[in-house]
Amino acid sequence: MGKEGSEMSTPMELVIKQHPDHKRQIQCCMTKWHKRTSGKLQWQEKGTLDEKCWDEVDAVIKHHKAKDTKVIGEKASELKRERC
């Protein structure tokens, strides 16, 4: 018995299948959410279907304050967006 009929996919793969044009942004968000959460409800890098984890990530995102960084010129901000 294999994965013939129903192929197992991670939550991230399911989202990417629905939004293939945004694959890089989705992967970047998953990595950021993983880094910003901790403990037993830490966001998995490939996503999760755990609703408790969704609630924690939602709270972290809403209360996250970006570091105060100065970006000099449009070229620097463009490079920053490309990285993630």
Q: What is the pLDDT of residue 19?
A: 93
Q: State how far the Cα of 74 lies from the Cα of 43, in Å rounded to an integer.
A: 32
Place of tokens 């403990």: 39
Q: Is the pTM of this model over 0.75?
A: no
Report the residue count for the chain. Answer: 84
Predicted confidence at residue 5, as pLDDT, reads 42
With a pLDDT cut of 90, the percent of the chain lying above it is 17
Counted domains in the chain: 1
Q: Give domain status of residue 71, yes or no.
A: no
Specify if 44 maps to a domain.
Answer: yes
- Alpha-carbon dihedral of residues 69, 75, 81, 84, nearest 10 degrees? -90
Question: According to the model, what pLDDT value does residue 65 have?
Answer: 66
Domain that includes residue 29, residue range: 11-63
Q: What is the mean pLDDT of residues 52-80?
A: 70
